[in-house]
Structure 1
Amino acid sequence: MVGSRLQSPQPAGKRVKVKRQRKPKNPTGEMTLVEHLQELRRRLILAVAFMAAGTVVGFIWYGTAPFGLPPLGELLRGPYCSLPEHLRVTASPDGECRLLATRAMEMFMLRLKVGALAGMVLSSPFWLYQIWAFIVPGLEKRERRWTYIFVSIAALLFVAGAVMSYFFMSFGLEFLLSVGEEYQQTWLTGGDYYNYFIALIIVFGVSFEVPLIIVMLNLMGILRYEAIKGKRSIIAIALMILAAIATPADPYSMMAMSLCLWLLVELAYQFCRLNDRRRDKRRPEWMDFDDEQGSGPVHASGPIGASDPVVASGPVGASGPVAPSAAAGASASSRPTPQPGLAAQPSPPPATPGPGTPGGAFDDVL
């Protein structure tokens, strides 16, 4: 009976379910080199998959308006179509503002580029999480908190710079297209306009990270407020030169970037000032000295024992001569204090040391 129960055949048509053993968790996050490479490959595949899905969504969004949102194509050509009519050429039958396409694949490639950019932005929380999940096991708790704070602030500053560039783009285009309009008129193609659009967004977004770099250097103790508080004019000129090099050759974009950077850098200055004041309250005075600063003149030390010579000791049990003042004081202090109403008793004579006692006849033997 026991053998028949153990070897009972499985009914036909049913599959045997085998439980898979779960991989034990690794609480410390330690991995070998091969495991690190496998983890990196898995994270990269997931990040690329999220970007591809976002690109498909952006490609569809280019010509449609989901959930009441304007199409991406409409947002892209917004700064160009806001120009005065005499600065843009209109050749469409209905008179609508459109960009020019001179090649067969140009419209498709422009739509693909815009969709890929929108897909990266839409899927950024997912592929950024993959990067974060790969890096975070090697960080401590304090490092994770600071990394999360700085990455969040950097993303917000980049978005603020991109939005700022979108609103000032039309002013820069108007200046550039109005130069020499008496003799020629510019008809922008989709590729040229897209390159100008993306370049201005990236320049504004990256330049807005400069204040964050100043704050990071101050927190690391490399840059202090005392070193930069008297150089505001020099830094302002440097920011204007940076804006003139990074932006196109129009004064509106340059001035907009210079003013925004100056305001953000001033906020970074105030943060450095408050942070240094808080740090100095908890900083001991000896840490303010320079590493090469001496503590004062160093004098040579004398020989050991020169200031306190060693005196030879006398014989055991022998008492040295007592000074008269000390003996008088000792005898006076040893006398009993007379009480009122009692007669003073005569003090007994001092005992004479006999032979064998300290200070007696045989004292020289000891």
Structure 2
Amino acid sequence: MPLRAHLLELRSRVGRAALGLLIGAVVGWLLYDVVFQVLQTPVVALQGAEQGTQLNFPGVMAPLDMQVKVSLFIGVLISSPWWLYQLWAFITPGLTHRERLVTVGFLSAAVPLFLTGAFLAWWLLPKAVGVLTAFTPPDALNLINAQEYLTFVMRMVLAFGAGFLLPVVMVALTMVGVVEGRTWLRGWRVAVMLSFVFGAVATPTGDVLSMLVLAVPIVVLYFAAVGIGTLLDRRRARRAAEEDAAYLAEHGG
């Protein structure tokens, strides 16, 4: 596909993904009150503690800005099947009709993995908030900036979700021939190291257990993707050998 066609395809896919995100954000706007109550649960749970913790809206426009950001955050989660499909459709524009059928398999794997990562982040969030606010001096009130708190939550949830998407991206790149399965395998040491670095950065508590909770599943998923990529390489090599044999037989070689 020419460069211009690639750019046009990219613009089209980004536009469609943005439209899906917008629709999800509208739904998020309607669900804001319920979702915000859930988001502030880890903070509310600490209000009876000695350090005293409370969300703070610094400014007249802060509540509106908060609602817009939460709506967009909900939109990203709700529309994840749609924008993940757009990502897949952009990566695999030249596949055969039979290979396009794996789109269902891609979404069946990508969406649960993304949401699993997001849920794992939410599961760790109360612990992260508790550990970080524990440094508040006794008898002091910790007025947490609501917007900074939301940024903290969004970064953690989306980072975990993105980390769990790694294997499906690897398989997609192997399927379209960009990266071979054995190339992923050769880089396993670097991949393991980066997984633990990512786990340390994405988990703000800094404790070993939280890092392992994120890093170990990513490593397992990486090797699972390597295995699938290796099978795809073998199938591609076998198909090429069969085509060469058929060509030689046809032309009397």
Return the TM-score normalized by structure 2: 0.68
Q: Secondary structure at the match of 1:103?
A: coil
Aligned to 1:56: 26
Q: How does 1:209-358 map to 2 (within 5 A)?
A: 209-216=165-172, 219=175, 220=177, 222-224=180-182, 227-228=185-186, 235-248=191-204, 250-251=206-207, 252-271=209-228, 275=231, 279=235, 282=238
Q: CA deviation at 1:103?
A: 0.9
Distance 1:133 1:280 in 2: 21
Deviation by residue 1:43-102 (Cα, 9 ceiling, x = unmatched) = 887765654444333222212xxxxxxx11122112333447326636xxxxxxx52112
The 3 A distance-change label for structure 1 pair 119 and 209 is closer
Deviation at 1:224, TM superposition (A): 1.9
How far, CA to CA, are the matches of 1:284 and 1:118 in structure 2? Answer: 45
Larger mean Cα displacement after TM superposition, 182-191 or 257-266: 182-191
**1:99 counterpart SS class:** strand
Partner secondary structure for residue 215 of structure 2: helix
C-alpha separation in 2, matches of 1:226 and 1:45? 31
Q: In the TM superposition, what is the alpha-carbon distance from 1:167 to its structure 2 partner?
A: 0.3
Inter-partner Cα distance in structure 1 for 2:35 and 2:169: 33
Unaligned runs of 5+ in 1: 1-32, 64-70, 91-97, 286-366
Counterpart selection for 2:49 from 82, 86, 102 = 86
Q: Which amino acid aligns with 2:217?
A: C
Residue equivalent to 2:58: 102
The answer for the alignment partner of 1:75 in structure 2 is: 38
Per-residue CA deviations over 1:152-197 (Å, capped at 9, x if unaligned) read: 4223221111111000111122221113545855321210110000
> Bigger CA drift: 46-55 or 100-109?
46-55
Provide closer, same or farther for how the CA distance between residues 228 and 246 of structure 1 changes in structure 2, counting only shifts above 3 A.
Answer: same
Three-state SS of the structure 1 residue aligned to 2:143 is coil
Give the residue type in structure 2 aligned to 1:109. D
Q: CA RMSD in A?
A: 4.4
Contact kept in structure 2, 1:215 and 1:268, CA below 8 Å? yes
> How many residue pairs are counted as aligned between the two chains?
234
Query: Hey, what does 1:168 align to over in structure 2?
Result: 124
C-alpha distance in 1 between matches for 2:13 and 2:240: 46
SS in structure 2 at match of 1:104: coil
Structure 2 CA distance for aligned equivalents of residues 44 and 214 of structure 1: 21
**Alignment match of 2:100 (pick from 144, 152, 161):** 144
Q: Distance in 2 between matches of 1:147 and 1:88?
A: 50
Q: Following the alignment from structure 1 to structure 2, what is the Cα–Cα distance between the partners of residues 85 and 215? A: 48
The offset of 1:148, in angstroms, is: 4.7
Amino acid at match of 2:181: L
Distance 1:130 1:226, change over 3 A: closer
For structure 2, the residue ranges without an aligned partner over 5 or more in a row are 242-253
Query: 1 CA distance for matches of 2:58 and 2:167?
Result: 42
Question: Does the 8 Å CA contact 2:51/2:134 hold for their aligned counterparts?
Answer: no
**Can you list the C-alpha shifts for 1:285-341, whole angstroms capped at 9, x where unaligned?**
9xxxxxxxxxxxxxxxxxxxxxxxxxxxxxxxxxxxxxxxxxxxxxxxxxxxxxxxx
- Whole-angstrom distance in 1 between the partners of 2:195 and 2:123: 21
Change (3 A) 1:211 1:225: same
- Give the CA deviation at 1:254: 2.2
**TM-score, normalising length: structure 1:** 0.50
How far off its partner does 1:271 sit? 4.0
Deviation at 1:140, TM superposition (A): 3.2
Equivalent residues of 2:21, 2:75 under 8 A apart: yes
Partner of 2:113: 157
Q: Whole-Å Cα distance in 2 between the matches of residues 170 and 103 of structure 1? A: 26
Task: Within 5 Å, give how 1:193-204 maps onto structure 2.
Answer: 193-204=149-160
Task: Please give the alpha-carbon distance, in whole angstroms, between the structure 2 residues aligned to 1:166 and 1:280.
Answer: 40
Q: Which letter does structure 2 place at the counterpart of 1:172?
A: A
Cα distance in 1 for partners of 2:203, 2:156 equals: 7
3-state DSSP class of the match of 1:85? coil
Return the structure number with greater relative CO, CA threshold 8 A, min gap 6: 2
Could you tell me how far 1:135 is from its partner in structure 2?
Answer: 9.1
Query: Is the CA contact (8 Å cut-off) linking 2:50 and 2:138 kept in structure 1?
Result: no
* d(CA) in 2 for partners of 1:130, 1:235: 26
